[in-house]
Structure 1
Amino acid sequence: MHTELMQNAKKFVAFWFLYAVLIWLILFVASALGDQVISLKFHVLVLLSMFLSGATTLALDLQQQRRDAHMAIFIDKLRDLHTDNTRAGHILMRPDDSLAPLAEAINDVQRLNRDRIKLLQQQGSTLAALMTNMPLGALRITPERTIIQMNAQAQDMLAVDRDALGRDYSDVIKHHRLISLLEQALKMETQVRELVKFDNRMLDVSLVYYETRERHHELLVLLYDMTEVTQMQDMQSAFVANASHELRTPLTAIAGFTETLLAGAKDDPAALDEFLHIIQSETSRLLALTEDILALAKSPERLSKVAPVNVANIATEIFEANKTAADTLGLQLQNEISPSFTVNQDESVVRQILTNLIVNAIKYNRPGGLVKVAAMVTASEFVMAVKDTGLGISSEEQSRIFERFYRIDKSRNQAIPGTGLGLAIVQDLVSKSQGTIELDSQVGVGSTITVNLPLQ
């Protein structure tokens, strides 16, 4: 731009110089021919006026070119407003320049546009982070039924590919009920929410019809996987039903025999003794069931008292507490844990796991059998194993023994007391401790249950 201005200035100077020389020559010739009217002052005046005119014209031309240059800059700045360019500098002009107010106005618009672009970029980044990381499937659908945005969670829940964007949702989604809900929300221009079974999942579908700007709308689809919640609710309902049934049995027996005693059976010494023993047995069963239910209801926060635990002492104490039951069957109890073996764990967790496993190993053993307890530490885990030579568990039942209130083939152990919650408690404790549990069993040979807990 500077070079062009210099070239134009040189052209103007050359033009007026030649014009002045030409006029001066004419005047000189006229004077030489004897025209006395023309004087030297007139020569100077003419030459001066020509030079002033040339200078004025040059100044005006330079000013016009400067204005044209500024206008080109203004136009470029205004065109930048249509882009996301936030790094362009402001227009700098002297405050006394006639174009300074226009330059300042353009700078203000550019500053406002830069702030608006940054805000939109921030909002876009936030929306992208939400769409990517939130535990919801999300879709945006236009009133023309075109999918314009979909996150990975929605793709997984609906089992669709990434090429779904830009397509009609009826070509992508194959679930009839979900399509019906989408149609309803778009036609009625309203919000819809419903729990929909989608293959092996239960999805909470929320449809929100909203206005993006004046006379422009979209349909926002939010999908929340309720499968685990639904399964938990079903498990809780089943647990309450089973617990009610299990509690009703001993309570009914206690109430019935008590009523019989009050009706006059208490006067018969033989009947009195028999009924009181039955009431005592059912009361013990009721207490055991209540304790097991309370053990299952304990919160995970109670599993945080980590301290050095002597596992051998715990196993010995459990053996002593169940010695009578073991002697009745003539069982041999072997504690193969070193007396000095200690590990950093929650003692209440270790004690409850070993208690349930050892009690089960004693109850379901054969006369003259063996119960063996061992423990060790690996690079990352604390391992406990309880082995018995009892009834064993068939392969068909092995996948169910950790279910609450489940007891193996009742025809084989109907005389064995129990609540059916012992192994469920063990699995619950192991799961809350982020450990694993393994079963190795063979019918008629025995079972070995191994618990692996992470080192604390």
Structure 2
Amino acid sequence: MFGAKLFPFWDQQIVNLGLIAFLALSLGLGLALVQEWQARRYQRQIALFIAKLKRIQAEDNMGGHILLAPSDPMAPLAAALNETQHVSRLRLKQLQQQASTLAALVDNMPLGVMRIKPDHTLVEMNAQASQLLNITQPKPGESYDNVLKNHALVAMLNRALTEQKNSRKTVQVDRVKLDVSVVYYQLRPRHYEALVLLYDMTEISQLQAMQADFVTNASHELRTPLTAIAGFTETLLSGAQEDSALRAEFLHIIQDESQRLLALTQDILTLAKSPMQERHLAPVAIKPLVDEVLTSHKDMLAEQKISVDIQVPSDLALVQDKSDLKRLLINLIGNAIKYNRLGGRVTIKADHTEKVDTLIIEDTGRGIPSDEQGRIFERFYRIDKSRNQRIPGTGLGLAIVHDLVKELGGQVLLDSQVGVGTKVTIQLPTTVIKDIRNGED
């Protein structure tokens, strides 16, 4: 009786224990599944974070932000990565802008620029450097030994890299004179490069040479009349003044040399006149100005029996500095008379079109040989000085004409034939004159 009651009790206990065991197993399994899911979730997030960091490090397309719920344990890390991405984007954009600005500056600056490595690798070369060195743009990574054609330049670069120091030297490349500077610098620890700067000194050197020649020629030309004046004056003071005929001859020579010295000084001052010097602009009637210049040459015209044909409209006026225009006409008309033949003719023309104002001085003189026409506008240059020794002049007249017309934005054209004559044409852009007129109104 007692056993019958006892067995159902134990059966119930066994059932309960089984239920508890099942629940415990289910709970454990559930927890295991939750932990596995959580671990996989964390792994995915960490993989996402790592991928994001790699993109930031590689400055690649960084994509959007990582979005996590505020309660997510990884939310602070995601926020830090998002902030890092934002800062990296800003810095990358700034670097790209700086790189673009630097590239534009290097490509358009008037300096030739090259970057080279100690192993002679040519890292970079801008367009100006290619032009100055007269070579095609090389491929990246080429050796400058194979690219550069100038041995002196290659030797200079080799020496600078070997000695690991800055250097500077003038190098002649074809017809271009280059000031070459090599700047040796540290790119990063134990890594060095050299920056090569090429500056075209050709024009400056030519100007310096012209200035030196000008000073030498001016000194010589000034010395000649001064020597003559001093010599004949000394002779007169030594007793030659007692001879009236000799005295008169010497005084005439002194007068001629003094006028030559005065003309030479005036021409030198005209050439030294700064282009920025203020000019007095006003309408200048060309016909009366031509008459005025011809009047100053009336004795020479009469002596050589030169006829003048003036083809200048009476109403033609140019708004310019009158002294400049007068200087142009004095030199051109003076040359047309001096180098003309006896009984020759000087023709003076002026014309106006929509774009160009033209002034032409034409003579029937001895003409200029073709091989000398290219030098006729050089300072102190005179054709066949031995033959023209008796013709007064400084050799600066056409140089003055050339410089003045250039300042006015125009050009001088020369057409000459030996034994036939010479025609000099001055062309001034009408637009420049119109602008000046508008400024005066």
Q: Report the count of equivalent residues.
A: 425
1:324 corresponding residue in structure 2: 299
Q: What is the RMSD computed on CA atoms of the aligned residues?
A: 2.6
The question of 1:248 aligning with 2:223 is answered yes
Query: Which segment is superposed worse, 391-400 or 288-297?
Result: 391-400
Could you tell me whether the CA contact under 8 Å between 2:361 and 2:423 is conserved in 1?
yes
Give the Cα–Cα distance (whole angstroms) in 1 for the partners of residues 219 and 226 of structure 2: 10
1:23 corresponding residue in structure 2: none
Give the superposition deviation at 1:133.
0.7
Closer, same or farther in 2 for the Cα pair 1:261/1:391, shift >3 Å?
same
Give the Cα–Cα distance (whole angstroms) in 2 for the partners of residues 96 and 34 of structure 1: 49
The question of 1:416 aligning with 2:416 is answered no
Could you tell me whether the CA contact under 8 Å between 1:164 and 1:172 is conserved in 2?
no
1:29 corresponding residue in structure 2: none
The question of 1:388 aligning with 2:373 is answered no
Could you tell me whether the CA contact under 8 Å between 1:310 and 1:341 is conserved in 2?
yes
Q: What is the 5 A alignment of 1:98-117?
A: 98-117=73-92
SS at match of 1:251: helix
Closer, same or farther in 2 for the Cα pair 1:421/1:241, shift >3 Å?
same
Give the Cα–Cα distance (whole angstroms) in 1 for the partners of residues 239 and 97 of structure 2: 85
Identity within the alignment, % = 49
One-letter amino acid of the counterpart of residue 124, structure 2: Q
Closer, same or farther in 2 for the Cα pair 1:374/1:76, shift >3 Å?
same
SS at match of 1:66: helix
Give the Cα–Cα distance (whole angstroms) in 2 for the partners of residues 334 and 205 of structure 1: 57
Closer, same or farther in 2 for the Cα pair 1:67/1:283, shift >3 Å?
same
Query: 1:127-179: per-residue Cα shift (whole Å, max 9, x none)?
Result: 21122111111111111011111111211222222235322221222322112
One-letter amino acid of the counterpart of residue 366, structure 1: R
2:260 corresponding residue in structure 1: 285
The question of 1:125 aligning with 2:126 is answered no
Could you tell me whether the CA contact under 8 Å between 2:138 and 2:147 is conserved in 1?
no
Could you tell me whether the CA contact under 8 Å between 1:316 and 1:335 is conserved in 2?
no
The question of 1:231 aligning with 2:214 is answered no
The question of 1:220 aligning with 2:226 is answered no
Return the TM-score normalized by structure 2: 0.88
- Who wins on radius of gyration, i.e. which is larger? 1
1:434 corresponding residue in structure 2: 409
SS at match of 1:335: strand
Give the Cα–Cα distance (whole angstroms) in 1 for the partners of residues 173 and 198 of structure 2: 11
Q: Which runs of 5+ in 2 are unaligned?
A: 1-6, 433-441
Give the superposition deviation at 1:295.
0.9
Query: Which segment is superposed worse, 33-42 or 410-419?
Result: 33-42
SS at match of 1:448: strand
2:121 corresponding residue in structure 1: 146
1:15 corresponding residue in structure 2: none
Closer, same or farther in 2 for the Cα pair 1:52/1:240, shift >3 Å?
same
Return the TM-score normalized by structure 1: 0.85
Closer, same or farther in 2 for the Cα pair 1:51/1:151, shift >3 Å?
same
Q: What is the 5 A alignment of 1:36-51?
A: 36-38=11-13
Give the superposition deviation at 1:392.
1.3
| Aligned partner (choices 251, 264, 274) of residue 249 of structure 2 | 274
Query: Which segment is superposed worse, 328-337 or 298-307?
Result: 298-307
Could you tell me whether the CA contact under 8 Å between 1:86 and 1:114 is conserved in 2?
no
| Aligned partner (choices 163, 167, 181) of residue 138 of structure 2 | 163
The question of 1:184 aligning with 2:152 is answered no
2:342 corresponding residue in structure 1: 367
Give the Cα–Cα distance (whole angstroms) in 2 for the partners of residues 177 and 40 of structure 1: 104
Could you tell me whether the CA contact under 8 Å between 1:86 and 1:117 is conserved in 2?
no
Query: Which segment is superposed worse, 347-356 or 435-444?
Result: 347-356
Q: Which runs of 5+ in 1 are unaligned?
A: 1-31
One-letter amino acid of the counterpart of residue 452, structure 1: Q
